[in-house]
Structures are given as C-alpha cells and as structure tokens.
Amino acid sequence: MSEYGTHDKDGISVGIVAKKIFTFAEPPRQMSLDSGKKLGPITIAYETYGELNKERNNVVMVFHALSGNSHAAGYYREKDVKPGWWDNMVGPQKGIDTDKYFVVCSNIIGSCYGSTGPSSINPATGRAYGLDFPLITIADMVRAQKALIDHLGINKLLCLVGGSIGGMQAMEWAVSYPKMVESVIPIASTCKRSALAIGLSEAQRQAIMADPSWKDGGYYGTAIPEKGLALARMIGHISYLSEDSMHRKFGRRLHENNAFKYDFSGDFQVESYLQYQGKKFVERFDANSYLYITKASDYFDLGEQRGRGSLVEAFSRSSAKFLVVSFSSDWLYPTSQSKEMVSAMKKAGIDVSFCEIETDFGHDSFLLAHTQLTRLISGFINRMSNGGERNSQV
C-alpha cells in the first residue's frame, strides 16, 4: 500500500482515537512460530472504533497491508494533518459503519508501529532485535491477533476485511479459526504470490541490504539505511500503480524548466515523485520490518500450508461467507489470482460473491475512496449482521 488516507470531504470521522497496547507470551510461555522458533513477550498495538454490543457479535476486523498500522481511522490529535489510512471506509455511516459495528485494527507483528518487530528491544539483550528477530509468517501474525481477540473477550467475528497482505491475514483467519469467522472480504489479495511478485519483493529487499548503513540489520542507534529503504519503496510504489494511472499522472512531463538537464538528478516528474515517496517513507518505516513483512507475504501459500497442496481443501475448513474483490489494473495481485481463489471456494461449496472493479489505479485502488467498493463492503456486512440471512431491501 502506498499512502495514508485523506480527510473526508464531508468531514465525517470517527473522531479522536487512541492506540492501545496488549502484551502477552511472557517467557517462559512464548508463542511458537512456523519457523520453529519462539517469540515473547509480544506486544500488539491496536485500535478500536464503535461500541461492542451486548451480544458481542458486531465485531469487524480490519487488516492493514505491508506498510500500514493500527491507525485505520480517525485522528490521534485535533491537529493531525491526516486521518488513519482507511478513513474513507471506516467511520460513522461509512462502508464499515462504526455506528453499527465494533471495528478492531491491530498492527501486525514484525512491523514498527507499536507491535513487536525487529526494531523492538529484545529483552534478552536489552538492545533492538535486528536480525535476531525470528522470521515470521502470515499465520504467525494471525496467531498473535487471535491472542488479542481472546483478550478482548470476543469469540465471534462478523466480518474480516483486508486489502493485499491484509486479505491474506483475513483468509488465514478463516481457515485457522473457522468457528469464529462468519465472513471475509479479501480485497486485491492472493492465496499465493506469483514469481513476479516474489521477484519484486526480493529486488526491494536487496536494495535495503545493499545499503552499507544496513550493517546486517544492526543499524539501530546509528545511521539508518535510508537510500536502500527509499529505493525499495520506489520499486514497491511502482508495483502498486498501473501504466495508465502513471501515464495520466506524469506522462513524460519534465520536472522543471521543460528541458533536459543532461545529468542523473531526475528530469521527469515521475522520477522526482518516486524520489519524494522514497524519502517520505524512510521517515516513517523501519528497513528491517520491510524485510520481515515482505518475506512473510512471499512465504504465504494457503493451499500448500492449510490444504496439503489443495486450495479447495484449505477453503473446505472454513464455513465463512466470502466477498472477493479485485481491480482490473492490479498487476501485482491480478484478477486471475482472485478468480483462482473464487474457483476453489466454489468447489469447496462456499457461499462466495466476487466482483472485479474496473479502474486504472492498480493495486492501490483499495485505499482510494471508491463508491462501488464502499457499496459492496457495506451491503455485504449488513447482510451478515442480519444473521447471514439475505434480508434484502426492495
């Protein structure tokens, strides 16, 4: 995902929100990871919006993607320049209506926004983990989220919604904890990343690791690998856009003076835009987190890991209803991959809806304000809150 949300044009917002913290898996009761290693204590940063009802059955979980965090909606302070990253979708009367639903969004482990990750202090050494942080998987992230949900006293999840890597977490939840999950909306997501996506991921990791400041991940307290992380972000950012959207936004327009400079400082607008995106990203994200999270998403293979090689078998574990959404110009997780998921769900007898939305904004489309996406999500969740009955309006 690229950038944070913008202010609601109608000024509607969930308002001032606060980040909360939950810590568990204190040694010796550390959490076991897919890698065989153990991790603990684990802290999870999370936010909630709306009210949990008496029956505790109005919970909607929102999952963020690679560079996101628990701050999905609202503002921390009155003066904040920007709201949470999905403020256009989450709030009163919005697609995920906080007047009706209790929304939970937590920061994934491995990240750098309050949940335990490579930049956290390793209690064993008193210093940041760096590369001593164990490799994690999407399933590990979900296990940690499950501990949070248990802690909140919730045992039914009305709907799980996530874009990109967030969609992977939502699907992992559905097959790992089938009794808890009633419905799932994976958006611009995939059950396994293609070689193209893994290749792009690896190029981004190599960019970080090639920066001399990276120092095998041990840069905390010294200069950070700014250049490497900025370059990784530039590559990543391109993969979230599309040829058409880039053409519309930049074309071949020049940055200044309308003439070539005949040097390598950047003539084209697209160059300076990407350089700016890279620089801005360095201020808010940890390079090691970038390595760990991209690796986790590369490892994800739902059919292989949860269905002994069969995606149909993996989905057979779930009794949730699904709404799968893809975007026509997303070439990172293309529609064909969403259709593959839908096909497996149908074979598994799952009640699934699917819609490819025609747009040229690429993979990032899910973050943009989009009436059609909002209608899909709100309609689907409302159906679920009516007890799964398809109580339709005339």
Partner 1 sequence: MRFDLQIIGELVEERSRVLDLGCGRGDLLDLLQREKKVEGYGIEIDEKKAIEGISRGLSVLKGDINEETKDYADKFFDYVILSQTLQQVYQPEVLIKEMLRIGKKGIVSFPCFNHYGIKLQLLLTSKAPVTEELPYEWYNTPNIRVITLRDFRIFCAKYRIKIIRELAISSHYKKTTGKVVGFLPDWFARYGIFLVSSF
Positions annotated as catalytic residues are 164, 330, 363
Q: Is 349 in the site for partner 1 (CB under 8 A)?
A: yes
Nearest CA to 300 among 208, 232, 198? 198
Q: Is 355 in the site for partner 1 (CB under 8 A)?
A: yes
Q: For residue 65, what are the CA distances in angstroms to 106, 200, 296, 322? A: 11, 16, 12, 19
Nearest CA to 106 among 37, 57, 36, 59? 59
Supply the minimum distance, in Å, between the C-beta of residue 57 and partner 1: 18
Q: What are phi and psi of 34, to 5 degrees?
A: -55, -30
Q: Is 376 in the site for partner 1 (CB under 8 A)?
A: yes
Supply the minimum distance, in Å, between the C-beta of residue 355 and partner 1: 4
Supply the minimum distance, in Å, between the C-beta of residue 67 and partner 1: 29
N-terminal to C-terminal alpha carbon distance within the chain: 37
Q: Is 372 in the site for partner 1 (CB under 8 A)?
A: yes
Q: Is 354 in the site for partner 1 (CB under 8 A)?
A: yes
Q: Is 226 in the site for partner 1 (CB under 8 A)?
A: no
* Helix (H) or strand (E) run with residue 306 in it: helix 302-306
Q: Which is nearer to partner 1, 310 or 378 (CB)?
A: 378
Yes or no: say if 282 and 224 are a contact pair by the CB < 8 Å rule. yes
Q: Is 347 in the site for partner 1 (CB under 8 A)?
A: yes
Cα 159 vs. chain centroid, distance in angstroms? Answer: 16
Q: Which is nearer to partner 1, 257 or 393 (CB)?
A: 393
Show the site string, 295-334: x = touches partner 1 by CB under 8 A, - = not. --------------------------x-x-----------
Q: Is 93 in the site for partner 1 (CB under 8 A)?
A: no
Q: Is 15 in the site for partner 1 (CB under 8 A)?
A: no
Q: Which is nearer to partner 1, 215 or 346 (CB)?
A: 346
- Could you tell me which residues come within 8 angstroms of residue 201 by beta carbon, excluding any fewer than 6 positions away? 193, 294, 295, 297, 298
How far apart (Å, rounded) are the C-alpha atoms in residues 288 and 388? 42
How far apart (Å, rounded) are the C-alpha atoms in residues 294 and 108? 12
Q: Is 258 in the site for partner 1 (CB under 8 A)?
A: no
**Binding interface with partner 1 (CB under 8 A):** 321, 323, 339, 342-343, 346-347, 349, 351-358, 372, 375-376, 378-380, 382-383, 386, 390-394
